[in-house]
Amino acid sequence: MKMKNISYCLFAGLLLGACSGGVYEKTENGVIVKVQQKGDTGARLVRLQVMGEKLIHVSATPDKKFADPQSLIIVPRAEQTPFTVAQQGDTVTVSTDEVRASVLASTGEVWFTDEDGNLILQENKGGGKTFTPIEVEGTRGYTVRQVFESPDDEAFYGLGQHQADEFNYKGKNEELFQYNTKVSVPFIVSNKNYGVLLDSYSLCRFGNPNDYSQLGEVFKLYDKDGKEGAITGTYVPAEGSGAETLVRREDSLYFEHLVRGDLGHVVNLPKDFPFYGSKVTYEGSIEPSESGEFKFILYYAGYTKVYINNELVVPERWRTAWNPNSYKFSVDLEAEKRVPLKVEWIPDGGVSYSGLRVHRPVDPEEQGKQSWWSEMTRQLDYYFIAGDDMDEVISGYRTLTGKSPIMPKWAMGYWQSREKYNTQAEMLGALKGFRDRRIPIDNIVLDWNHWPENAWGSHEFDKARFPDPQAMVDSIHAMHGRMMISVWPKFYTTTEHFKEFDENGWMYQQSVKDSLKDWVGPGYTYGFYDAYSADARKLFWKQMYEHYYPLGIDAWWMDASEPNVRDCTDLQYRKDLCGPTALGPSAEFFNAYALMNADAIYNGQRGVDNNKRVFLLTRSGFAGLQRYSTATWSGDIATRWEDMKAQISAGLNFAVSGIPYWTMDIGGFCVENRYVAGQKQWNETKTENADYKEWRELNTRWFQFGAFCPLYRAHGQYPLREPWEIAPEGHPAYKSIVYYTKLRYNMMPYIYSLAGMTWFKDYTLMRPLVMDFTADTDVNNISDQFMFGPAFMVSPVYEYGARSREVYFPQAEGWYDFYTGKFQKGGEKVEVKAPYERVPLYVRAGSIVPYGEDIQYTDEKPADHIILYVYQGADGEFTLYEDEGVNYNYEQGKYAMIPMEYDEEEKTLTIGKREGSFPGMLEKRTFTVVKVNPDKAQPFNLNAKGVEVDYTGEEVSVKLN
């Protein structure tokens, strides 16, 4: 953006001097505007605060003064950005050199423009703000809504990680709360190159501010015989159960949570019916009173299909009973036209869940607006973030919420996990299995239940199964591995750790009062600690430090950090179970627990060893999580093809939410029984039945996808997830998994350079195509392809038996097939080959990619020989980043960067002068420069012939004619 002209600045200054009386008050970093026409639910005061050249904080309140609670997500900044204030009529404008924010004093409406006056974002006419008083547990606040205008060609991304496989949120609805597999971040990025960050920690909604309605509240219901008032529910018990088929009328399909006070039963389901092995059908008709698009949400555990108007609108989906999922779909219906509805449900076990609710049609223009709703907050606070591209918007987000530290280099390697290694010997045997087979690995994970059965939260090892934890950790290190251990915010009431929290009032009490028992052994009573208390966070770390840290454990796995005090309860009971917090009612502080919990570990470890890099993996997250060197994984997803596909859009939206490190359970966590049976048959007979054949292909495709995620990690329930447990050596599945694991390590110079960019340039590793090709509108809704850094386009295969898939090549100077070097033009859709052992992988023309030699772990040997591939056809640049990999010396400037540029016209690669240094840095190395161009396909090969360059840190140029 260009600088404002001097005359405008002078004019603004004159207006400020002449017209400020009564309309606004200037503050040290902005203005407070008094709204002239407040109305019953509008704002009385609107405040603009300049947070940076392209960062504006907007606050609004219906009260006479701002409450100004301390933000949990914004990092305080001492730096002041110059700004001017001008008033013209009843419009007050705050301007920096890059953006202007204006308030219409008559209504409180705010809008944002660039320095030339081009509109970027505008609140709804009249301000789009609605405040409704709310009081919870004696604390007063407001339920708030904020609506912005949105042009038809706008697209929205972010909001965290959700599981309905939605990508572009334009015109869509998303509820923002935390749950296993669902991570909510109240931040969106627009393809118009701006972002909005809502500073609220309560339940929020993007899109429709209303909860979904029961079917009977929106439709006339008819049973299968045509009688009005209900849907027919037919419950067929398992053969041999002795029970009879039950038929009853259902006035809603809402069987979504356990009954409070009777957690053995699901709300609204028949109590005495034996659901294990049963089949349930809900059928009849629905008749709307209005025409339009009806947006449904399906809640399911077990196998589910949905038919509307005799069409299969939801093909079979499955989730395990203890962790249901939601799926959204839309159907156009006509007023007063009755259409058939049928839901087929096979419950998962004796306690299972099903539900179908709906939103009424909303005017398309209204539905397409950017709408935020927050259940409880003290005032409205949001941040407008402008940028020249989406990367700059995310950089602005991290300026506000904290930079993302560089993860330890070993975290970029492979992670092997399972639920669970039951003994010390199992864990060490698994790591040894990798070393014996020469499969690269850096990290191995010890899941829950390594403690004595009755001592959850004690941080003690069960001596019968883990007789010598110190020797175990030492052995892992001796095999050049790193160890991560599972730590929960959960404590059995009999443990000394629970008592330490409880005596200080730092333990949530509802689960104790209700005598909730978990699923372990006979069931034990427990509580979760209050992470919103600063002193409780210090104690949480102290207990970890005393028990785990002296062993030399390298990384921390923060499970159930939503917090998930009890699965499958209603939303109000979930709030009761995790509150009140030290800061206020859980209704107000419902979503930020994982952020507070990460604070405990990150600042705890840096407090005792400030130069050892922290690594946390957590099942939840919130805005600002990245500042605590924390990654999120997508939770206990299912071993299903549709779940695999959903992780692509989930991971991409999470990345756009500003948190760069994300991973998933490769292969899925919760396993269908048919796969378990297939594994057992294989174990007994070494025959591969149809289900087990599919299991192997599912895992193969998932590993192919996972190798190009920010973190590469396998985890799940039985069957076991080590590569040789999935398939024997020589099997295509085994060969493919090993191939991509080795390739990940060959790419380590590239990957670790991207990790460096996340700190120095606020970079995003896993990138939706829209980030790099914003001008190409064909990419706005592509949710199943992504860029891994600037060079690689990955197109995962997520359909069983597929040996090809359609790939869109964005408009660029061209693309190269990674494996063959064959050139492909941009701007085209092509059906490309996808053999069993390979995922479609393409490299953008103009890319410079450093590859390393084969290694077994990230720091096995110095990268003294780098194979540097130059993909010709466009100018390109890349910076090779290096440091010590395990400490924070880079914060003090101890690192090295080698800039590289390729000039297409001159056909010249320039490897620039090294910038910086660090202890242990290689003073010289060899680059083998390999060119790839459209005229001669060059397959990927670490032994390919190229130009040898002896590099000593000085600039050198290479002709690539």
Catalytic positions, please?
Answer: 559, 562, 636
Structural tokens at position 45: 């005061």
Question: Can you give 168-226 as a three-state secondary structure string?
Answer: CCCCCCEEECCECCEEEEEEEEECCCEEEEECCCCCEEECCCCCCEEHHHHEEEEECCC
Structural tokens at position 202: 């309560």
Alpha-carbon distances, residue 321 vs 270, 354, 560, 561, 638 (angstroms): 17, 10, 17, 20, 11
Owner of token pair 């003073």: 923
Alpha-carbon distances, residue 885 vs 451, 462, 468, 483, 814 (angstroms): 32, 33, 29, 16, 34
Per the omega criterion (within 30 degrees of 0), is the bond before 408 cis?
no
CA distance 830 to 811: 13
Query: Would you say 875 and 499 are in contact if contact means Cβ atoms under 8 Å apart?
Result: no
DSSP string, 289-319: SS-EEEEEEEEESEEEEEEETTEEEEEEEEE
Alpha carbons within 13 A on the beta-carbon side of 882? 24
Query: For residues 549, 551, 552 and 556, what is the CA-based torsion angle, rounded to 10 degrees?
Result: -50
Reduced to 3 states (helix: H, G, I; strand: E, B; else coil), residue 887 is coil
Q: In what order do the strands lie in the sheet with 194-198?
A: 24-27, 30-34, 45-52, 55-61, 380-386, 194-198, 183-190, 156-161
CA distance 896 to 894: 7
Query: Would you say 224 and 343 are in contact if contact means Cβ atoms under 8 Å apart?
Result: no
Strand pairing class (91-95; 84-88): antiparallel
CA distance 564 to 587: 15
Query: Would you say 189 and 158 are in contact if contact means Cβ atoms under 8 Å apart?
Result: yes
Alpha-carbon distances, residue 363 vs 147, 294, 368 (angstroms): 14, 11, 9
7 CB burial (10 A radius; 0-12, 13-18, 19+): exposed
What's the chain's Rg over C-alpha atoms? 29
Q: What backbone phi and psi angles, to 5 degrees, belong to 594?
A: -60, -35
